[in-house]
Every structure is written in structure tokens, then in C-alpha cells.
Amino acid sequence: MCGIVGYIGKRRAMDPLIEGLRRLEYRGYDSAGLALLQDGSIEVVKAVGKVSSLQEAVAAHWPDEATSKVGIAHTRWATHGPPTVANAHPHVDGDRRFALVHNGIIENYLALKTQLQRRGRTFYSDTDTEVLVQLIASCYEGDLVQATAAALKQVEGTFGIAVLCRDEPDHLVVARRGSPIVLGLGRDETIVASDVSALVAYTNQVIYLDDDDIAVITANNVELRTIDNVPVSREVAHIDWDTTAAEKSGYEHFMLKEICEQPTAIANSIRGRLDDTLGTAILSGLDLSQHDLALINRVVIAACGTSLHAGMMGEYFLEDLADIPTEVEQAAEFRYRNPIIGPNNLILAVSQSGETADTLAAVREAKYKGGLVASICNVVGSTIARETGRGVYLHAGPEIGVASTKAFTCQVTVLLMLALRLGRTRRLSREMGLELIEELRRLPDMVRTVTERAPAIEQAAKRFHDAQGMFFIGRGYLYPVALEGALKLKEISYIHAEGYHAAELKHGPIALLDEHVPVVALANDVPGRSKVIGNMQECRARHAPVIATATDGDPDVAQHADEVIWIPRASRFVAPVLTVVALQLFAYYFARERGCAIDQPRNLAKSVTVE
């Protein structure tokens, strides 16, 4: 959700703090702020809006360059309290002895706030975060680590924090529970962040904190302990991408860049994972033997948002190719409805960031109930990946645009490979496996063909960009694509868009159709096509414009549509990937034509790390 950066080292702290915030802005952009230890006191500068507004405020506050070597910074996605300067982070106590930045939600903040007010402490914001810094101040007896631990033991909820104390200027204290914190180990400098993108410009050696870890950070050392003051050690991980992967590289928006990166991203997801000898997929990260795989008698996929739609694709794959009953659960509901988990059930957590709070909670519930738990994530070292201990990395590269694109298509690709792997332990023939392998190998080039058709898709988007509402309909394998297409459009263009199974059109939504409500009909030449054409005719009978996706060379669809987006011929297994890429481009050009903030849509953040 929010972005955290901390720095202590040899540089002017202002530079890595501002640069880190700029790289983390996709995690929140309602307000931003920083705190420096400057000339023996804590100085704080905040601004409403994006990091550029903070840079202007900093320039006004420090006409002469600030030389401090230690500081913390934050870019906010508002939860408690509206985006105002008072509610922006960092927060300080009444004596300005401590400054703190925080990602997460303190669930018992009202009770704690009442207690602290009774002790005479005054609050200046509407946030739950201010309670933390005031609580640490009330616990302080000369040791910042002990005060932080004592305060956090009273907290219910989630947190990733970095704390600065004017009386202890040679170190920072950071801690986490449920919200990610990563430490970058540089030469004579240490960087704290909520995401590695903020620190890869300085180091590729990192430590991921576990829940209830507290770290004491100096320029040359990291000391780790638990909240109960037990020393611990964590593995040093290596980051295998650099800052250029998180730059626009000449594209107008990150979203367009990431759409166009999908041929490479998908190729990276399948590289080294296809076995021509056995006609299967190699997914060693699952750490399961052939016998273990053969015993799996049910799969439950837990996910949220775009990942949920990928999970729905996985349900089709696993049931059709592997004959395994599969359910897709909205992760937020999973632990609250007391799910039935058996000993041979595979619970699969799907999350781009690996930090989604609801999906992480589902993982923990499934593990508690004795299920076999695995994950599909894009971020190496993420909490979900570490807690499941087995799974498949996407290798899609960093995804900066808030609206997920390449992560979705890589998730679908990995789920297809998983279904192939499980299917080959059952009745799926080697010949069928080899056919799927061949199509998977062709998939990057087919996706590239779709992206090369961007100009035609742009014209379709321009034609209908004045619409204030839109429906997306599909059947079978293209039904989840309809849901995802609608989600992309509403995320970045702010119009009302709904995805429906095409058969559901007559069960209510058709009442809303008229000449002002276009319908995007997914009429590719896969099972269900003829029925979708019938639905298109129903839409046009109500004067609704129809935008269709159709397979190259299809002679029938165009006569029933006002606009056609052509898709390369492919089987029902990979046609959804090609189709969703076209819908991503449609949503992108639609939003661009309307002048929307595509990479940072209002009210949204990239990674939802709170419930």
C-alpha cells in the first residue's frame, strides 16, 4: 500500500529518500513527506499530492541543501483520515524526539489513543499511525529498540515501520508484521524500503524481514532480533534486476511499456520449464514428487482482483487437462467462512506482489488446517513466497503500473503449465502434452502479433471513448477474460464497466442496453463462439454498439459487430492470453483519450497490504 524509505550512510540522505519515493509512488500518491536528523533536531517536510509536490516543499524549506546522512520518508495511500498535510507521514511525538513512517493498519488505535490522551498526550492527525509514535515516546527510557518493542507488543493489526530518534542519531529502528520491509545492504550505507524498487539503484544485496522482526540499522551493520528480544538471522538475497527495468524506457506510460513487454515476460515465465521428452512442464519450485502430485485430489485457488481472474482461468485448465476438481476462492472470504481443507488438497495462493494481505491470511489459514500450500508470485523473497515455501515464480520483471498486465498473462501461463504438469501425472497423453508445449512456445510471438496491432485497437478505443458505461461478455475460457477486460477499463478510465458471462446478459443486464452502452463481445473461434454471436445480435437489436474480438479469417463475426479486434488463431487454452492483451490495449487507449492518470489511477494502489 504505502511506500516507505529509510536511509543511513555516507550520502546526503535527501537524495536516496526522494529517489526512493519516486520509485515507490505507485504504492500510494495521496501525500508524501520526509524527516531528517538535521543539526541535532528532527525536521519534517510534508506535502499533499505526489512526490513532485514534496520536492517543491523541500526546496522551499531548505534553500540551502540539507546535509543530513540519516532520514526516513513516506508516500501515502490514505486509509485513516483524508489526504492532508497533517495526516501525511512522517508523524512525530509532541516533543519531536521521534519520527515514524508506517504502512499497515493499527486495529486497536482508538483504544490506545484514548489511553495516551488520558496520560496527557496531544494528537494532531486523524491517523492510526500517530498512535504508534506517541506510544513509542511513552515507552522510551533511553533505548529506542526496547521502546519500539514495548509499543508494538500493545498493537493489534499490521505494520511496517521505520523510526528515527534525535537522541540516538547513529541508527534507525525498523520492524514489520504483515507489511513488507526489505533492507538494502550497500557499501557504508543501508537503505530501508517497502519494495526493492526503491533500493536497487544502490545495492542488489537485500534482507527481507519476517513478521515480528525488529532491526537496528546503521551505515555498516544490521542487527536483527524478534519483538521478544531474541537475536535472529535472515538470509541475504540477491536481486537480479536493475533500475532500468523500472523505468519507462521511452514509453508514455508504464502500463503501455508493460503491455508491450509481455512477449518477453511470457518467454521468461516458460524458459527452462518445458520438457519435450515427457511432454510435460518442469516446475521444480513446487518441490513435489510425481507421487505427491498424483495424490492431489482437489485444488483451491485463493486470490484477489486481477489474480482472482487468473485463478478462474486456472480452474478451467486444471479441470479440463488434469481432471482435478478446482475451486476459486476470493481470498478475503477464505479464512472467514471456515473452508473445508483435506490432506490431499492443494491450496494455491496467486499474488503478483506476494504481499496481498487477504491472500497471505488465506495461506496461513490453509497451513493451519493442514493443507498442501503453494504460491504463484512475481516477487522473489515476498512474504507469501516465503511462507508457502513452495511454488512458481513468474519472472515477469517489476510491474510498476497500478493496473496489472504482464503479471496476469504470466500467471495464466504458469497455471497452464501447472495443469499440464498435473495432467501428465494422470490421463493427459504425451501427444497432447507436446501439442500444448508447442503452443506455449509460440505464445510470445502470438502476443507480439497482438501488440503490433495496437494502432487498429487505438482507433476502436477512440471511436467509443465517450461511452459512460460498457459491458464485456464471454463464455467458457473467455468468461474470465471478460471480467478482466472490464476491470482494466474501470481501473484506469473511471467509467462503469461490467464483465458478464454472455448467457447472463438476458438475466438483467440487457435492460441497461441502448445506443450509449457499447458491448465488448469475445467471439473468438473457440467453443461457445456461435452462442456469443447470438448474444451480439441481441445487443444490436437493442441498438447497443458491439465491439467484437474475433479470430483471424473468421467470416461471420464482422457482420454482427460495429468494430472488430482481430486475434491470431489459437486453441481455447491460449486464446484467452491473446484476447486479454488486446483488451489491455483497448483500455489503455480508451483512458488515454479521456485524459486519465493511467499509471496512478485515483483511489488505487499497486499492492493491497491491508485488509
Give me the numbers of helices (H) and strands (E) for the chain, helices first please: 18, 26
CB atoms within 10 A of CB 387: 17
Active site residue 165: no
Helix 575-593 / helix 406-424 crossing angle, nearest 10 deg = 170
Alpha-carbon distance 487 to 291, whole Å?
Answer: 39
Which one of 2, 139, 377, 539 is the catalytic residue?
A: 2
Q: Give one DSSP letter per residue of 549-610, joined into a string.
A: EEETT-SSGGGG-SEEEEE----TTTHHHHHHHHHHHHHHHHHHHTT--SSS-TT--S----
What are residue 288's phi and psi, to 5 degrees? -130, 135
In sequence order, the 6+-apart residues with CB closer than 8 A to the CB of 595 are none
How many Å apart are CA 187 and CA 197, to the nearest integer?
18
In whole angstroms, what is the distance from residue 502 CA to residue 514 CA? Answer: 17
Nearest CA among 533, 318, 516 for reference residue 417: 318
Q: Pairing mode, if any, of strands 326-330 and 298-303? A: parallel
The partner residues of 9 in beta bridges, in order of sequence, read 189
| Alpha-carbon gap, residue 263 to 452, rounded angstroms | 11
Q: Is the dihedral of CA 245, 246, 249, 251 positive or negative?
A: positive
* Active-site residue identified among 69, 257, 490, 606: 606
Q: Residue 29: phi, psi to the nearest 5?
A: -150, 35
Judge whether 410 counts as a catalytic residue: no
| CA angle, residues 562, 467, 26, in degrees to nearest 5 | 115
Return the HEC string of 147-203.
HHHHHHCCCCECEEEEEEECCCCCCEEEEEEECCCEEEECCCEEEEECCHHHCCCCC
Amino acid symbol at 605: A
180: phi then psi, degrees, rounded to nearest 5? -70, 140
Phi first, then psi: give them for residue 87, nearest 5 degrees. Answer: -85, -10
Catalytic residue positions, numbered: 2, 606
